[in-house]
Homo-oligomer: A and B are copies of this chain.
Amino acid sequence: MNIRLFPMLAISLIPSVAAAQDLTTIQNLNQKFSQAFNAGDFSTVAGHYADNAILLPPGSDIVKGRASIEKFWAAAGDQVSDLKLDAVDVKPLGANAAREVGTFSLKSKGPQPQAMDGKYVVIWEKAGSDWKLATDIWNMNK
Contact = CB atoms under 8 A, between A and B. Distances in A.
State how many copies of this chain the complex holds. 2
B94 A60 contact: no
A84 interface: no
Contacts of A89: 54
A121 B56 contact: yes
A137 to B, nearest CB: 5
Interface stretch (A3-11, A27-35, A74-82, A95-103): A95-103
A12 to B, nearest CB: 17
Given A56-B101, A58-B58, A93 B123 contact: yes
B94 A57 contact: no
Interface residues of A, number: 29
A100 to B, nearest CB: 10
A139 interface: yes
A141 interface: yes
Nearest to A61: B141
A54 B134 CA distance: 20
Interface of A: 54, 56-62, 88-89, 93-97, 99, 101, 119-121, 123, 134-135, 137-142
